[in-house]
Amino acid sequence: MMIDAGHQWATATAPATVSNVAVGFDILGFSLGQPVDRVTVRRSADKGVRLVDTGGVGDLPGEVEENTATAGLVEMVADLKLDFGLEVSVEKGVPMRSGLGGSAASAVAGIVAASAVLDRPLSLPQRFHYALLGEQRVCGRRRADNIAPAMLGGLTLIRSIDPLDVVRLPVPHQLEAVVVEPEVQVEVRKARALLSDTVDREDFVVQTANLAGFVAGCFEHDRELIGRSLKDLIFEPQRAHLIPGFAQVKEAALAQGALGSSIAGAGPSVFALHDSHVDGQELCQTMIEAFREAGVEARGYTSPINSTGAYIVERGPRV
């Protein structure tokens, strides 16, 4: 077996992701084909981790402990007692504070690239461990609902974080996603602070029924069941007001035949799922237009939700 490690440098990519997915608050997430972050990690003689390029994105943290691409690597380097250092460059494709898992994408791409320059590659649990640490620095809490789909691709269920228990869910054929990102920013911590600490028991029953219906619909490739189930009656109503035009965008998506639509992560991006009866590009334009009518400029992405997770796109010679 070839061990894919020990390279002088490696560049990894990890995609944007949509967490929560209407019915899976903090436990479901899926990956998008685009946009992606690319992180290059290079061995260096000087020990420690250095961030040599943050990709020209103005407000990205330059301190290695504060940037999600490197915060996990700092821990890894200490744990492994490496006798060499790591130079890290980030090409930021996933917008930050958009609800599209920007910090997870950097954290995952960073650890996947770093694994390829080590003498022995990290195990998957190790990669999760350090990516989670990196995300934790920025989000202030351990969460895997963007990390897991960014790492593995597709639709993932995080059954447990400690110990990590991630389940890949099957995705029905031709199920695709449209994500539209408005030019407004929602602070994740603020969006979470707004949430009620409790859930009404009757709402709990309806929401869990929809969650179970969604999971069953995925396994049975039953797009109608997925559509009937894709409704968030608990968290979406508490956050929708943070996103100008949200109601109109969602309504426009459903009117055009989307199976469901809700907030991507903590927002402000809005996603819709659809099958082949709906043209993704047209749906995307409709949602952008609905934002525009609400006075907000937006840009959109279309993607299958069964896309690839993180992988090495390029690497240098072996050490």
Residue for token pair 């949200």: 246
Cβ-based nearer residue to a second copy, 19 or 68:
19
Q: Does 212 bind a second copy (CB under 8 A)?
A: yes
Tell me which of 80, 96, 164, 169 binds a second copy, using CB under 8 A: 169
Which span sits near a second copy by CB under 8 A: 42-50, 205-213, 277-285, 307-315? Answer: 205-213
Q: Does 24 bind a second copy (CB under 8 A)?
A: yes
**168 beta partners:** 156
Q: Does 213 bind a second copy (CB under 8 A)?
A: yes
For position 242 contacting a second copy by CB under 8 A, the verdict is no
The interface region with a second copy, picked from 48-56, 195-203, 255-263, 284-292 by CB under 8 A, is 195-203
Does residue 157 belong to the site contacting a second copy (CB under 8 A)? yes
CA 101/CA 7 separation, integer angstroms: 28
Closest CA to 261 of 227, 291, 286, 211: 227
Using CB under 8 A as the binding rule, whether residue 216 contacts a second copy is answered as: yes
State the nearest-atom distance from the C-beta of 205 to a second copy, in Å. 5
Given a contact cutoff of 8 angstroms between Cβ atoms, the answer to whether 227 and 260 are in contact is: yes
List of residues 6+ apart from 139 with CB closer than 8 A? 103, 188, 189
Q: Which stretch binds a second copy (CB under 8 A): 57-65, 74-82, 194-202, 258-266?
A: 194-202
Rounded CA-CA distance 46/31 in Å is 36
Q: Is 64 in the site for a second copy (CB under 8 A)?
A: no
Question: From the list 53, 79, 123, 160, which residue makes contact with a second copy (rule: CB under 8 A)?
Answer: 160
Output 33 or 213, the one with its CB closest to a second copy. 213
- ∠ Cα 287 250 233 (to 5°): 155
User: Closest Cα partner for 176 from 306, 81, 290, 50?
Assistant: 306
Contact by Cβ (8 Å): 118, 80: yes
Q: How many whole angstroms separate alpha carbon 185 and alpha carbon 203?
A: 28
**Interface with a second copy includes 265 (CB under 8 A)?**
no
Tell me how far apart the alpha carbons of residues 308 and 125 are, in angstroms, rounded to a whole number: 18
Q: Please answer whether residues 51 and 88 qualify as being in contact, where contact means their C-beta atoms are separated by less than 8 angstroms.
A: yes
- The answer to whether residue 266 forms part of the interface with a second copy (CB under 8 A) is no
Q: Which is nearer to a second copy, 59 or 197 (CB)?
A: 197
Q: Are strands 48-53 and 85-91 parallel, antiparallel or unpaired?
A: parallel
- By CB under 8 A, which span of 24-32, 56-64, 173-181, 257-265 interacts with a second copy? 24-32
233 is a site residue for a second copy (CB under 8 A):
no
Residues that bind a second copy (CB under 8 A): 24-28, 157-160, 165, 167, 169, 195-201, 204-213, 215-216, 219, 225, 228-229
